[in-house]
Amino acid sequence: MLRAAILVAAILIPAAAGAAAPKKCFSQAEIKSEQEVRQGIFLREAANRCNERLLPGARDRWQKIEGANGAKFRSAVDRRQKAWQREFPDDWKYQINYADGRLVTYARNISLTEGFCDNIDDLLQTIEKRGFAAFSKLSKVVRNQVTDDYKVCP
């Protein structure tokens, strides 16, 4: 019995010790990743919606941007996930799914107008011409949303 308890402790203690303690804030790099992921989700949803009626080809254009910048998007997603795992260790998957769902719901409920899709076209053109650096710069427009949701570490 004692051996079983020692074995269980030997397995559980290193796992718990390896988990970072919540900081109660996100670093600047984590904030940037959160902005990029949110902007990517928004543009994906907007391109899909505009593709149907007002901006044919928008979905394919966004998928091409994603494909060309896959490693950079993956890096942002991974950094974001690590931050969420640290800050919400008990239910990070639920928390991140809730946040993403909130954003998708918002994006899907914006009125689908010619002006909206023209703006999405402009964003896609900028990213197509200038690459991921332009996307990252454009993602700063969600800064206030992100910093309203999460404290930035000093």
Instruction: Identify whether 3 is part of a domain.
Output: no
Region 20-47: what's the mean pLDDT? 94
Sign of CA dihedral 24, 30, 32, 37: negative
Determine the structural domain holding residue 73 and report its residue range: 23-149
Instruction: Identify whether 12 is part of a domain.
Output: no
pLDDT band at 18 (very low <50, low <70, confident <90, very high): low
What is the crossing angle of helices 28-53 and 70-87, to 10°? 120
pLDDT value of residue 148: 86
Residue 115, CA atoms < 13 Å, CB-side half-sphere: 2
Instruction: Identify whether 35 is part of a domain.
Output: yes
Q: Could you tell me the pTM of the whole model?
A: 0.82
Instruction: Identify whether 100 is part of a domain.
Output: yes
Instruction: Identify whether 17 is part of a domain.
Output: no
pLDDT value of residue 46: 95
CA-to-CA distance for 127 and 124, rounded, in angstroms? 5
pLDDT value of residue 145: 80
3-state secondary structure of 154: coil
Instruction: Identify whether 4 is part of a domain.
Output: no
Region 77-104: what's the mean pLDDT? 94
Domain count, the chain: 1
pLDDT at 138 over 60: yes
Beta-sheet strands, E only, within 2-137:
none
